[in-house]
A = this chain, B = another copy of it.
């Protein structure tokens, strides 16, 4: 009997693993570590259901990839068994380089390193363990494989990564308006001139997908309370680093001390990185609640007990005087040096675009075989007016 494992998924029903190598990868400790990394960092402070994990998301993206490849093959697109396996492995591992609290602490914990870069380091490490069986997956992941559409399914304006995270995040957060028609979009995918495209009759589904994404950004990912909690989290790590606060986990300490990772050899850094997860950061935060440094303890207590800074969004920048006022009040109230109050009152800009005009395109294939960008079709919802990114200014500060 052929290899076959089934995993229950509330989003898709059942996820089928029918390839022994893929199952071995899933069983690897590096992959299992993703169980201990929240998909949505601090979003669960607003949406209590949003506690799902990076492991679940990458399994879900794998599931969509499996279906996308099936649909394309059904339309006559040539995909060999090896290519299909490579694409499935590449999507399964696309997020494996995420560290504790993923996006929220990206480039904070490991300086100047995007998670994609770290993912590649980890996939290479796994490839060594698996005797080169991940070669083609790496080629697909890095975009050097000749079948460009395979890479586009992993990383593009319409990849299965996005399709899964929008579906899954809206499902677990209970923001039902974020739901997209992933099954219909998958059925509308096609390949033309070697590139991933969408059939003409999928235009409205794509519009809906982009508007759902827009909604999810402002209603969930950049919800003011979520944003505030994640800004606090970043400042906790930075403050701990500045004042040399010690975490209970020695590996986390190493990453807190930037010298510890600056010139590290990747072969040696990868296992260290893979020993960390959200729990290690949260354990440190719980300890630091009683730290002598008032800035650190205030931020940590705020996260642990969900007593967050006050946060306000506005269309325009806040006057500098407002920030100065807030900081002075805090400094006085807590007996802090003026500079330290800046950790507890700060401003910033949240940015999101509904459609990225520069970056990559969503191409529509018409029945007459002509191709247009989704922003160029007749009566397009996605129009040039939307070229500019949406920006919102925010201020966070400790309440009196």
Contacts and interface: CB of A to CB of B under 8 A. Distances in A.
Interface string A199-222: 000001101100110110011000
Contact of A32 (B14, B207, B306): B306
Contact of A207 (B59, B211, B248, B306): B211
Interface in A182-213: 183-184, 187, 204-205, 207-208, 211-212
Contacts of A1: 75-76
A133 interface: no
Contacts of A74: 2, 4, 18
B51 A53 contact: yes
A386 to B, nearest CB: 8
A8 B184 CA distance: 10
A370 interface: no
Given A10-B174, A177-B181, A219-B204, A214 B381 contact: yes
Contacts of A354: 381
A48 B56 contact: yes
Contacts of A6: 187
A283 interface: yes
Interface residues of A, number: 77
A237 interface: no
B187 A8 contact: no
A378 interface: yes
A33 B145 CA distance: 48
B177 A205 contact: yes
B173 A10 contact: yes
Contact of A305 (B32, B177, B287, B315): B32
B176 A49 contact: no
Contacts of A386: 381
Contacts of A32: 304-306
Interface in A10-58: 10-11, 13-14, 18, 27, 29, 32, 35-36, 44-49, 51-53, 55-56
Interface of A: 1-2, 4, 6-11, 13-14, 18, 27, 29, 32, 35-36, 44-49, 51-53, 55-56, 59, 74-76, 171-177, 179-181, 183-184, 187, 204-205, 207-208, 211-212, 214-215, 218-219, 248-249, 275, 279-280, 282-283, 286-287, 304-307, 315, 354, 378-379, 381, 383, 385-386, 390
19 contacts: A2-B74, A8-B174, A13-B176, A27-B306, A32-B304, A32-B305, A35-B44, A35-B45, A51-B56, A176-B184, A177-B204, A177-B205, A204-B214, A205-B215, A207-B211, A211-B211, A249-B283, A275-B286, A383-B383
